[in-house]
Amino acid sequence: MTRCGIGYDAHRLVAGRKLVLGGVEIPHSLGLEGHSDADVLSHAIADALLGAIGERDIGHHFPNTDESIRGISSIAILERVAEVLRRHGAELVNVDATLIAEAPKIAPHIPAMREKISSALQLAPERISIKATTNEGLGTIGRGEGMCAMAVASVEQP
């Protein structure tokens, strides 16, 4: 059986935080606020993966009330989610994700993000698509108050 999952996440941009997207630290004046490293792209992918096997969501598996995971790297979250998939006998087919952010320029960092996500998920980089777009200045994302990301994932499950 082929199954697919969808994921969405959003985080607020604030001063004094590192900006981590797809496991890659990107130089920027602002960073995303959150309990973990707030890697919005990895979070959307994690939710898509969990959704594909009907295993609830990232908030269930990694609650922001759990002090033991404060500041957890989202690449570590992806590694743990990949383990959950393996336990369910699900084999990853592909991941496609879009980051929506006004700044900074994301394109130069996409190859490094693919590599990071590839090794976290043990999935060939060719099966991982990372895209980025702006919101054309529209709304809160367009004003640069935050970033959001969407992802889909498909898996084969016997």
9 is a contact residue toward Mg ion (CB under 5 A): yes
CB of 34 to Mg ion, least distance (A): 6
CB closer to Mg ion out of 66 and 156: 66
CB closer to Mg ion out of 35 and 131: 35
Using CB atoms within 10 Å of the CB of residue 74, give its burial: 0 to 12 exposed, 13 to 18 middle, 19+ buried.
Answer: buried
How many angstroms separate the CA atoms of 79 and 60, rounded?
Answer: 16
Query: Considering CB under 5 A, how many residues would be counted as binding Mg ion?
Result: 2
22 is a contact residue toward Mg ion (CB under 5 A): no
Please give the sequence-ordered ranges of beta strands (E in DSSP) within 64-127, or none if there are none.
91-100
CB of 11 to Mg ion, least distance (A): 6
Site for Mg ion in 38-77 (CB under 5 A): 43
Q: How far is CA 84 from CA 52, 55, 143, in A?
A: 11, 9, 37
Chain residues in the site for Mg ion (CB under 5 A): 9, 43
